Each structure stands twice: as C-alpha cells, then as structure tokens.
Structure 1
Amino acid sequence: MARLLFRLTHVPDDEAMDVRQLLDDNGIHYYETDAGRWRVGVDAIWLSDEAQYEHAKALLGEYQQQRTKDQQATYAELEARGEAPTLAKKIAAHPIRFMAQVIAIVFILAISIVPFWYAFS
C-alpha cells in the first residue's frame, strides 16, 4: 500500500526539487500525484514501498531542519541589510492592487451591513 510522505501544496519549486533529489540519491522509490484540473486531488510525493517510509521520513526531517536554518539565516541577512519584506514595502510595490483590495473590502462590508442598518433604524 502506498504511503504519503510529503505534501507539495504551497511548496516552493526549489524545495520540491530538493526533496526529489534527496529521495533519488538515497534510492527511495516514490511517485507523485497532482490535484488535477479541479484541485480535488492531492499534490504529494508517495512511497510505493512502505518499508522505506521510516528511512525516508528521517532523511526528510534532517533536510527540513537544515532548510529551516538556511532560510532563517537568509532572512536575518536580508533584515540586516534592510531588504526584508515588510507590509509597507509590499504596499509600496503594488499600491493600485492594495487600493483595489481596500475598496473591495469596504464594498463587501457595506453590502453586508447596510440592510441591517435600515432594518433596525
């Protein structure tokens, strides 16, 4: 029976490639599934041999710990240089998108609240 090893939903491409390479380098047989056109399936890496699961899980745990340290170091370096992403920088990069989202939120709130306002006044 197949066993789920790693979900690929919202995983960056570089991390997914690293996981595939890790499994290939260690001779672990796997296959991938995708969620399909309507996104009702599962984007994941599965092991076809359940006997390899514990070994694969241990390798994946080590990889993820190392990746976490690397990503934290990268973020700390960006933060030290003043280049870390912040809300203000994201708004400044896309001001029209931000204003459109604010207008949409206000519009939806108005449509939701106005009927009750007139019903109770």
Structure 2
Amino acid sequence: MPLLLLNLRNVPDDEADEVRALLDENQIDYYETRPSLWGVSGGGLWLPDDRQEDQARARLAAYQAARGERARREREQALSEGRAPSPWAAFRENPLRALATLLGIVLMLGLATLPFLFFTRG
C-alpha cells in the first residue's frame, strides 16, 4: 500500500530537490504527486510500498536534523552580522502588503470588540 513520506505543502523547492536526490542516492523507490489545481492537496513524495519505509524515514530524519542545524547556524550568523530580516525591512520591501496586514488586524480587533462595546451597557 502506498505510503506518504513527505507532504510537499509549504516545502521550499530546494528542500524538495534535496529530498529527491537523497532518495535517489539511497536507491529508495518513490513517486511524486503534484499539487492539485485548487490547492486541496499540496502534493507529496510517496513510497509505492512499505518495504523501504524504515530506511526512508531514517534517512529523511537524519537529513531534516542536519538541515535544521544548518538553518539555525545561518540564522545566528545573519543575526550576528546584522543581515537578518526585521519587521522594518519587510515593511520597506513591500509597504502595501504591510499596511494591508495592519489594516486587517485593526478591522478584526474592531469587529471582535464591537459586541462588548455596544451590548454590555445596561
């Protein structure tokens, strides 16, 4: 029975490519499903049967641990060098999106507090 090894929703392309290469290097059979047109499925990497599940999961766990450690080191280095993205940098990069986000937050807070403002006065 096919077994989902990795859901590709929100997985960066470089990580998906590295996982495919890892599976190929270790001669682990897999197939890939693409994301659905309507966004219901994010796609995935599947094992055709469960005979290689233990090997595939062990390799994937080791890869993800190494990738996580590498990402933490890169983040710490960016912070120490002052290159890490900040909220101000995100605002400068895309001010319209930042303002729309802030407006949405204010509107949601306003809608959430309206019942308390109008219906608690007795």
- State TM-score, norm by structure 1: 0.84
Deviation at 1:62, TM superposition (A): 0.9
Task: Note if 1:10 corresponds to 2:10.
Answer: yes
CA distance in 2, matches of 1:64, 1:115: 46
- Summarize the alignment of residues 50-65 of structure 1 with structure 2, pairs less than 5 Å apart: 50-65=50-65
CA distance in 2, matches of 1:50, 1:75: 36
Task: Note if 1:96 corresponds to 2:96.
Answer: yes
Which amino acid in the other structure matches residue 46 of structure 1? Answer: W
Root-mean-square deviation over aligned CA pairs: 2.0
Identity among equivalent pairs (%): 36
CA distance in 2, matches of 1:11, 1:40: 15
- Count of aligned pairs between the two proteins: 121
Residue ranges of structure 2 left out of the alignment (5+ in a row):
none
- State TM-score, norm by structure 2: 0.83
SS state of the match for residue 59, structure 2? helix
Structure 1 27/84 Cα, relative in aligned 2: closer, same or farther at 3 Å? same
Residue ranges of structure 1 left out of the alignment (5+ in a row):
none
